[in-house]
Structure 1
Amino acid sequence: MPDLDICIIGAGIAGLTAATALARRGASVTVLEQAPELREVGAGLQISPNAIRVIDALGLWPRFQQISLASEQVELCDSSARPVARLDLARHRPQDRFRLVHRARLVEMLAEAATSAGAHIRLGQQVTTPPQADLVIGADGVKSRLRPLLNGSETPFFTGQTAWRCLIPAEAGAAPAAQVFMGPGRHLVSYPLAGGLRNIVAVVERQDWREEGWSHPGDPADLRAAFGHFGGPVPGWLARIDQVNLWGLFRHPVAAHWQRPPAEEPAIALIGDAAHPTLPFLAQGAVMAIEDAWILAACLDAAPLPQALARYENLRKPRCERIVEAANANARNYHLKGPTRAVAHAGLRAVNRLAPTRLIERFAWLYDYDPTAI
C-alpha cells in the first residue's frame, strides 16, 4: 500500500471515505473535485449500522455522534397519517446504531479526516481523462466520466417519478424517527436532523419530467398542491417550506464492470454512485458508498493490485445488486393504489401486530453486514 499512488475523482461521501481509509493505510492519495469548494449541498441522510461499522473502524464515531441524531423508529403511515407499521429499531435491534445526519456535515467530517490522514484534496479540477496514477478511483457519481471507459455508453430511463427535497426548522421535541406517509402514486419521508432541522423528501408519479439531478430549484406551491390531501403533521411541515429542490428519478443498471486492471493503464475502480446508482427508497446510497470505500481499501491492502481489484468487484457487485433491487421494490410498495393498496396495508398492520420484529428482520441481511470483517 505505501507504494501506491492513488487518484480519486470526486470529493463526495464515497471519495472522501476512500481517501481516509487509503491514506491511513499509507497510500499516497490525491482527491480531485470539480467544485471550487465543498459547498453546503444536499440534505438529510439515514445511516444504518452496516456503514456505522466503517465509521467506527476509521475512528470517527465520536465525531459522527456529535453531528448526527439517533434514529429509534421507522413509522409507516397512510396518507391520512393512520399507522400502518412501525419498525422499532431501538427496541428490536438494540445492538445496532441507526443515525440521521445532514450530508454537508458528513462530507465536512470526512474531508477533515482525509486531510488529517495525509490525503490531498484539490478543488476546481475538471477531469476529462484519467490522470496518471497507479490507480484511479471513480467516485464521480451518476454522471461519472470513468464509468463509460469500463462499460461503454449507457442510457438510464426515467422512472416516471419526481422528488422534492427540502429542509425546514424542526418542531420542539421532534420524535427521533423516520416517518413515511404513503399515498396512491406518491409518498413523503421526513425525519429530524441535528441543529434543529427537519428533512423532507416527497416523491410523486408524473410523466412530464425528464432531467436528472437533484439540485434543480422547485416551487414550494407545487409540492404543497401535490401533497395537500395528506394528513397528520404533513400540512404543517409543508406550510413552513420556502425553498425546495426538485429532481427526476432515473433507474441505472449496476455497472457490469467495476474495475480495469493495471495492464490496461491506468488501473481504474468505480465506487459509490459511479458503480451502482440507486433510487432513494431504502436509504442505502451513502451507506453503499461507505461500504465500497472501506472494502476497496482493505482489498488493496491485502493483495497486489490486479487481484485486489478483482476481489473488490466480486465482493461488492452481488450485494449492491440486491440492495438496488430492494430499493426498486420499495418504490413500488410505497405507491400502491386501489384494492391492492388496501390489502397490502391491512397485511402490514396484521404482521406488525402479531409479529412486530418480522418487518425489521426482513432486512437483517442488510444491517448485519460488517464491511470491516473481510
Structure 2
Amino acid sequence: MMRIWLSRPHMSGHEEARVAEAFASNFVAPLGPQLSAFEARINEHLGGGLHCVGLSSGSAALHLALRIAGVGKGDTVWVSSMTFAGGVFPVIYEQATPVFLDLGPDHWTLDPDLVETALEQAAKEGTLPKALIPTDLYGQGVNRARFEGMAARFGIRLIVDSAESLGARDATGAPCGSAGDAAVLSFNGNKIITTSGGGMLVTRHADWAEQARFLATQARDPAPHYQHSTYGYNYRLSNICAAIGLGQMEVLEARVNARRAVNERYRAALARPGITFMPEPAGAHSTRWLTALTFDPDILGVTREDVRLALAAAEIEARPLWKPMHTQPLFEGSRYIGSGVDERLFANGLCLPSGSDLTQAEQDEVIERILALLPDSRG
C-alpha cells in the first residue's frame, strides 16, 4: 500500500538546471548569484519595492525581524494562538513574553475586532505590546488593512507570518507576504514551493534588510579580519537551495491552482451538514496550502479523531489543526485573549492530504475512506 502524504515536495524539472548553473560557477557557499536572483524574483512576485533577504528558515526570518524591531526582555508580543510553534519560539529567543489571541469564526484567521478592542484597553493601561504577529493561517491572508491601521494607530510593529501563504492574495487583492513592517516566508519541504529548507524576510524598510543581512552572516564588521561588535547568527540561505527556489518560482501559480482544485473537490464530495471547511473571505485568493475542515460529532456521529485514525490505518496522512499555543504545556499560564474559537477548531479540525501532486485516484481514496465513516454512507 502506497502512503498518501499530507503535503510532499513537488519538483517541476526546472530546478536541476538552476542548481547545475550554481555548481558550474562554483557558487555552492551560502552566497551567490542564485540567491540574489531568488530574492529579486520574490520581490517581483510581491509587486516590487520591497527588500527580500533569503534565510535558512521562516523561524530565522521571524527571529531577525523581532530583534531588529527592538523586541527584548520585558516586552510583550501579541501572537495568533493557532499557529505553528516556529511562529512563536523566536519571541522566547529574545526573552519577550508572548500573549496569545483568538481567531475570527468567519475566516479562521486572527480576529481584528478582538485585537483592536484589546489594544484600546492596553493603551489605557500603558501595556501595549512591542509587536503584533498575525498568521496567514493555512495559506489565507489576514486582514492586512485593519492590522496595518492598528499598528500605525498604536505605534507597534507589525510582523506578518506569511509562511503558508506565498502565492495568495488577501481580500484587498494585495499579495500575501508584502504586509507590515516585515513579513516572513517559509520554503520548508511541505510548503507551496520549497528550497528543501529555507525562508525569507520581506520588509519595506531598507535598513531592516541591511541589518538582517548583517546579523544573518554572523554580524561580521567591515574589517580585513574577523571582528564583531555584536552577536549574529548563521542564518543565510544556501545559494544551492536558492537555485531550487528559482526553479520552483516558475510553477508557483500552477502549484497554488492545483491545491485550490484539490480543495474544491473535497468541498464538493464532502458537502453535508456537520462538515465545515475553512471559509474564504470575499475577494481573497488563498493558497489553500492545506485543506482544513471540521467534523461535528453531534451531527455526524464521528469525531475528528475517528476520521484521522481511519485514514492513518489506510496509510493516509492527515493532521489535526495546529494546537493553540496557549494550550501547549510550554506556555501553561500564558495570557490568552479570546473566547476559544481556536480551541473548538482544534478539537474538531483536520487537515487532509493537499499536495499539488496529489492524484485524482489518491484524492478519491481519501474521500471514500471518509464517506465510509459517515452515517448516510453506511449500508
Give the structure-1-normalised TM-score: 0.25
Q: Which structure is higher in strand share?
A: 1
TM-score by length of structure 2 reads 0.25
